[in-house]
Structure 1
Amino acid sequence: MYKKSWILILVILFTGCVVAKEQRTVDVGISSGKVQCQEDRIPKGVSEGLLLKSGIKVLNSHCGVENKFSIAMCGASDNELYIYEIREKDLRLAKQNGFIEVDSLVDGYTETDCKKLNQ
């Protein structure tokens, strides 16, 4: 009787851990491709499409600017990011598609309105 109870408890605990991992999320980002002195950038939908075509569900999205020093020079990066919330289990696949985990950014980023980036 006690053995069956312990087995049942372990099954319930293990199932809870698996479900919790499936529900954890992470933010990944990719450059907008914009450089200084130019207004061209990769449309946000294109980068989101990279995730969707890989079977990664996008739960939420926003834009940001990386908080790192950049030289003020035409052609240098503008540090704009498209940021997507995805399931943690899809992180490796997102990285294979050129995305980075935004928590790994040394100086972080500042969230900004996507409409301002796409004016």
Structure 2
Amino acid sequence: MRSHGNIMDAALGLHSEQSARGNIRLAAFFFDSAHPGYAAKRAAVERAQKALDGEFKAPGDEIGWFHPSVDIDNESGQTHGGQQYPDDSLVARFYFPSTIPGHHLPHTWLERENEKMAMRD
């Protein structure tokens, strides 16, 4: 947590050696469009968000992981439906719903005895 916190802290101008009041003062002009440093601070935060996107927006890592050993008939081909790069690393930023053996089944609604429920329930 500390490494990604430092990226956003740096963008906002926050420092652990500084008092809470000092950090609040430095971060405050992120919200003050009249402050001369406003545009630079907003640009720095936007760059930090882009740098952190792979960590915080990673549905491929969160729900796209799979068990390749279950795919005994090699139904997936080389990229497991797009979820895997040719070098075998996982595509982290995107999730590709798949019914290939070893993958989690995609979400869908089912009905049993007139009761609607999520497939995973």
TM over 0.5: no
TM-score (normalised: structure 2)? 0.36
Structure number with greater CO (CA < 8 Å, separation at least 6) is 1
- Larger Cα-atom Rg: 2
TM-score (normalised: structure 1)? 0.36
Greater strand fraction, Structure 1 or Structure 2: 1
